[in-house]
Amino acid sequence: MATRLSVNVNKIAVLRNSRGGAEPDVVRAARACLDAGAHGITVHPRPDARHIRADDVLVLADLTREYGVEFNLEGNPFAPPRAGYPGFLALCGQVRPAQATLVPDSDTQLTSDHGFDFSGDLGALREHIAALRALGCRVSLFVDAGDPRVEAAAALQADRVELYTGPFAEAFAAGHADAARACAGTARRAQAAGLGVNAGHDLSQANLAAFLAAVPGVLEVSIGHALIAEAMHAGLDATVRRYRALVDAA
């Protein structure tokens, strides 16, 4: 199966929220990405509403249905509801995303920077996965490359794992020839356990082709920060088309 490109538009909302109001328009940006060939849209609404808000999730869900593409909703299932944020499971119940990607981040984290710890009691995580699957969502768990327990995601009834590729990107930028070794090994073990493999974090035009060549069978890459930064110079349409060319050639 060819790798799919899902564009994360969180950074558009960061810029909008820095001034208030409605510009830049998150939906307009997402539409530009889809018109340029993106296979889907990803957002990670955080409880503190620092970028994507719950109301954005609703309209973006409508947009992805209009285009007939996948909506990937990321979040921490354990984060409690609060004003303006009904909770991750409640949001998924409202919009029924094609994929729910569970990430163990906290309010204080600047960005997602680690995967789940599969040691200890996983009963609560299993319950969240079951509830999301009952909504019709495909469930993916954010995991660290090199995690010795990645197969536990299959035992929890998750459908996929998403490899945290931040360390890969850092190693690749430093010129390490084996930068993707841990990702490739973890992907093979996950696939052997019956899991699909996604990837995301700090993937860019500079490293994406090398990553996909080294890590076979990646079903989806979710890319936001680098893509939006590059698009500031080249434009969304041209930037998304270049990413499509990279994943299509992998």
Contact predicate 210/198, CB 8 Å: no
Pair type for strands 218-223 and 70-75: unpaired
The active-site residue, picked from 39, 44, 51, 128, is: 44
Unique residue bearing structure tokens 């327990």: 149
Q: Which of 51, 201, 220, 230 is catalytic?
A: 201
Q: 39, 51, 74, 162: which is the annotated catalytic residue?
A: 74
Residue 66 bears catalytic tag: no
Burial class (CB in 10 A: 0-12, 13-18, 19+), 248: exposed
Active-site residue 74, yes or no? Answer: yes
Q: How far is CA 94 from CA 44, 59, 88, 136, 151, in A?
A: 15, 11, 10, 12, 30
Residue in the structure block whose two tokens are 């299932």: 77
Which letter does DSSP use for residue 85 in this model?
Answer: B
- Cβ atoms 90, 81 nearer than 8 A: yes
Active-site positions read 44, 74, 201
